């Protein structure tokens, strides 16, 4: 085996305070990072939620106060980030509490990152060494508080921002966008409805599976990905059935963080397609991933059969191999209420060729275990719209 195969650069996440009730430590977390004037960034749907009020109260009880910025779309756009930066600067804030699901976490991280930059946000897309263009001293410290168990953005060094002009989701990257501290409190996720619990949980599973199947030598990511899949398989149905199951909620938060830690190894065609689908059709990202996943597996079959044999063992399936995992996945999705096709969530194939072109340009496409072109990705997308699984092969 050549040395090149064994050569890699590995990064792993930040400090995580995990457990029920740990949101009460939010003020001390701010002091740990030297934050005296935090800005809490979340999405509009959480602005008046009890868990948000609980967090603001915990800050006050700890001797701090935080204004609320909540002008974030479900898929944050550049204008949202610019508005947040304006609030950050006018309030002379010195740190950000990124609070929520994917939009709140990514939006908060992006506000903290852009608070000290002079260039436009697109200049920091995750391309080559573009991140070196940033003034690293101008990045405000970040505390991440996930309220869903899916994206894992709380342990990520990037934020996804939608470019409304091009309908492209852009990955904005900088190593210092990694939150300095995470509060992972399962009590904050108890109120999630079953459908959102299922969709976000499948996002975590997809992160783990795509990372595990991505080419490259990264045994740390592979180990975490396998354990993440095992946790989702065991605990997501429980969390969907009973939102108050704290053990299940706790394990799902862990699995979400594990998925994001693992996917630094790479993602694949699921995310490459899901990103433009979300941009054009405004679909929920985790749900979109969940629907597309089996179609990509079928397309990638020749390259991932060995990997899926390992996954079958991890999931303790009665038979090893590709068919066993695919059958389990289809049954698992049905159990938690995930639809079989994109058409079922309001997506048609009118823009199929456009989706294929955008998916080919998406950075995730490069991590697919089988090289994919726009025509391949268009074929997978059309199959996912129609629900014809074999058409993705």
Mean pLDDT of 142-158: 96
- CA dihedral in degrees (210, 213, 216, 219; nearest 10)? 90
Q: Which residue, 298, 313, 336, 30, is CA-closest to 181?
A: 30
Residue 16: CB atoms within 10 A of its CB come to 19
Predicted pLDDT of residue 11: 65
Tokens of 365: 């496409």
Expressed in angstroms, the distance from the first to the final Cα of the chain is 31
DSSP H/E element including 68: strand 68-69
Predicted pLDDT of residue 5: 52
Q: Give the contacts of 68 (CB within 8 A, at least 6 positions apart).
A: 40, 42, 47, 52, 56
Q: What is the DSSP string of 226-252?
A: HHHHHHHHHHHHHHHH-TT-HHHHHHH
The pLDDT tens digits for 4-36 are 455 666 667 889 999 999 999 999 999 999 999
The pLDDT tens digits for 46-103 are 999 999 999 999 999 999 999 999 999 988 999 999 999 999 999 999 999 999 999 9
Q: What is the DSSP string of 96-138?
A: EEEEESHHHHHHHHHHHHHTT--S-GGGGBSSTTGGGGS-GGG
Whole-structure pTM value? 0.94
Average per-residue pLDDT in the chain? 95
The pLDDT tens digits for 265-302 are 999 999 999 999 999 999 999 999 999 999 999 999 99
* Distance from C-alpha of 282 to C-alpha of 165, rounded to nearest angstrom: 14
Question: Domains in the chain and their CATH numbers?
Answer: 15-189 (3.40.50.1970), 194-392 (1.20.1090.10)
Angle at CA of residue 22, ends 18 and 27, nearest 5°: 120
**Statement: residue 152 has pLDDT above 80:** yes
């Amino acid at each position: 085996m050549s040395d090149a195969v064994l050569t890699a650069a590995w990064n792993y996440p930040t400090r995580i305070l995990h457990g029920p009730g740990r949101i009460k430590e939010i003020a001390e977390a701010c002091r740990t990072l030297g934050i005296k004037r935090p800005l809490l960034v979340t999405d509009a749907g959480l602005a008046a939620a009890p868990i948000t009020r609980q967090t603001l109260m915990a800050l006050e009880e700890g001797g701090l106060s935080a204004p609320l910025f909540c002008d974030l779309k479900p898929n944050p756009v550049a204008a949202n980030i610019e508005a947040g930066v304006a609030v950050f600067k006018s309030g002379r804030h010195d740190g950000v509490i990124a609070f929520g699901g994917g939009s709140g976490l990514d939006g908060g991280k992006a506000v903290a990152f852009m608070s000290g930059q002079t260039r436009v946000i697109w200049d920091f897309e995750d391309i080559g060494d573009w991140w070196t263009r940033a003034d690293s001293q101008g990045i405000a410290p970040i505390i991440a508080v996930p309220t869903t168990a899916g994206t894992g953005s709380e342990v990520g060094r990037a934020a996804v921002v939608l470019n409304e002009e091009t309908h492209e989701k852009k990955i904005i990257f900088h190593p210092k966008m990694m939150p300095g501290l995470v509060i992972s409190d399962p009590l904050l996720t108890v109120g999630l409805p079953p459908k959102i619990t299922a969709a976000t949980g499948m996002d975590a599973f997809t992160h783990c599976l795509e990372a595990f199947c991505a080419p490259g030598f990264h045994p740390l990511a592979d180990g975490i990905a396998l354990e993440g899949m095992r946790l989702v398989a065991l605990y997501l149905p429980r969390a969907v059935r009973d939102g108050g199951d704290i053990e299940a909620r706790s394990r799902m938060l862990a699995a979400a963080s594990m998925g994001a830690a693992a996917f630094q190894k790479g993602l694949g065609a699921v995310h490459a397609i899901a990103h433009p689908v979300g941009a054009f059709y405004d679909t929920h990202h985790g749900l979109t991933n969940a629907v597309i996943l089996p179609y990509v597996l079928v397309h990638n079959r020749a390259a991932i059969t060995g990997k899926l044999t390992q996954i079958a063992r991890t999931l303790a399936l009665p038979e090893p191999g590709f068919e066993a995992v695919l059958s389990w996945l289809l049954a698992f999705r049905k159990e938690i209420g995930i639809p079989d096709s994109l058409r079922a969530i309001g997506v048609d194939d009118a823009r199929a060729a456009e989706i294929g072109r955008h998916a080919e340009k998406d950075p995730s496409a490069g991590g697919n275990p089988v090289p994919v072109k726009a025509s391949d990705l268009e074929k997978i997308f059309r199959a996912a719209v129609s629900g014809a699984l074999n058409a993705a092969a």
